[in-house]
Structure 1
């Protein structure tokens, strides 16, 4: 197993932005989850992994999905300082409204005040600036000691499982390409749609895994991450904050902050991070 001191290290010290109500709720849940009674723990696991379903559902639908009684959901909400389910749900609804912007609206944002399209060079400048800020943040946030431990952890793996869906999928594909060229044994989890669960059947403590996911976290990624942890596979995670549902028990995770331009987020910092890991792992495996 790969061990590191759990905690947030330099990455959190560098971020002084106050937590939103949504982030604060998730942090409170993560802090208290282990001490909750079994039924309340079921709800905690469900709502942290399915925030959109909580935002759009009813107390009955949430209770059914979490396999508890509606009264238990209400008791859970009150335990965390809400008057009832509706008040807790409003936190998830506000978060959903703030995060979800249709791509057509993002394209519309690339128009000037007079309605004319922004010049292509200005778009390039915007994405260049966002990528530069992302890379500067990466350089500032990465703890060198933790990076060395993560490289050692992954390099020891018999097979390195790579997991990342949605926006992270492009990064995973490129990392698989690098691993192939560097002759590092690996397996992409979810290379075939519908076969994600089967992809990790052979994973065990002698292997390693790199998991990549950012808010809004893909529910399937969270589920497979939990399965890897249950199989005692050493995991290194790339994610965006300390309350992410894919932070491994080992504490080996890295905060990746990708600056957006008009709602579009690239993978600039994430790409540089996986290239760093691939090259360092190859050198270590020699």
Structure 2
């Protein structure tokens, strides 16, 4: 090989290939990340959604105009800004304006179908929540232990207040098919304390409490009341730390979906079904007997439509 070609070949061998520049996130994605890292109320999520959908417009609106466009009060906008860590709405608007200008000067997206819309993104987030729950199910010891304890508690009390009531009702309704005495507590205050005290005096040993965001003060009060009566507490919630897990004997966590105005509960629902399975397996003979009796009653009284 001639010397000139040899030198060029050597230079090519030692010169690293130029790597493509990292892709900058789209301005709208940056705005979503800013909001997505905080727990927002339903009203605050409406504000966040409007800003995400109208970044170049919303970043230059006055607090009065933004509140009017979204349909919320001006104090709600202020609380929204402070919940994100800003001193007020002017500071939030100042942070949003560079992103809005970037969005305005960015080339148009020629393939909008490649990016999921808000509803698809919410489903994607729930799929990620279920994947996280699946990884926790690799170790089933805790689920099986809690299922055994709940199955042995006579009566078994299920606590769910405010937004958590739907999960508690589902669990209690299904548990009644396989457990002889399930008591649902759906009201707080002295009513909850009375129910918890009666359950303990009747021989109950455990309470299964559901606590989803936004966590209610009355749920914490009811859990503390349960402990004072001598009941033990298994808690199903979205996070392992905080005042509610501090009051529980066992905490089982499942993240909630927060991409829409109201939370979605795919992972907590699956966790609840897993607990029911563990209860059923803890006493298989009782489970089978009760399920057969229920089916007989369902046939006798025509509970369900024919398939």
Q: TM-score, normalised by structure 1?
A: 0.56
SS at match of 2:244: coil
Give the equivalent residue in structure 2 for 1:232: 230
Aligned-partner Cα distance in 1 for 2:261–2:236 = 21
Give the equivalent residue in structure 2 for 1:198: 194
Structure 2 unaligned regions, length at least 5: 1-37, 58-111, 287-307
Q: CA RMSD in A?
A: 3.2
Aligned-partner Cα distance in 1 for 2:178–2:221 = 29
- Preserved contact between residue 190 and residue 199 of structure 1 (Cα < 8 Å): no
Deviation at 1:135, TM superposition (A): 0.8
Aligned-partner Cα distance in 2 for 1:183–1:249 = 25
Structure that is richer in helix per residue: 2
Kindly provide the CA deviation profile for residues 50-92 of structure 1, in whole angstroms up to 9, marking residues without a partner as x.
xxxxxxxxxxxxxxxxxxxxxxxxxxxxxxxxxxxxxxxxxxx
Q: Which structure has the higher relative contact order (CA within 8 Å, separation 6+)? A: 1
Give the equivalent residue in structure 1 for 2:22: none
| Structure 1 residues 30-179: aligned runs within 5 Å | 99-102=40-43, 104-105=46-47, 108=50, 111=53, 122-142=117-137, 143-179=139-175
Q: How many equivalent residue pairs?
A: 187
Deviation at 1:109, TM superposition (A): 6.0
Deviation at 1:195, TM superposition (A): 2.7
Give the equivalent residue in structure 1 for 2:87: none
Aligned-partner Cα distance in 2 for 1:99–1:106 = 9
Distance 1:187 1:206, change over 3 A: closer
SS at match of 2:165: helix
Distance 1:100 1:128, change over 3 A: closer
Kindly provide the CA deviation profile for residues 163-191 of structure 1, in whole angstroms up to 9, marking residues without a partner as x.
12222111111112212333542111125
Aligned-partner Cα distance in 2 for 1:249–1:197 = 16
Mapped pair 1:181 → 2:188: no
SS at match of 1:217: coil
Give the equivalent residue in structure 2 for 1:24: none
- Please point out which of 275, 278, 301 is paired with 1:277: 275
Larger Rg: 2
Deviation at 1:272, TM superposition (A): 0.5
Structure 1 unaligned regions, length at least 5: 1-96
Deviation at 1:269, TM superposition (A): 0.7
Distance 1:123 1:99, change over 3 A: closer
Distance 1:152 1:114, change over 3 A: same
Give the equivalent residue in structure 2 for 1:91: none
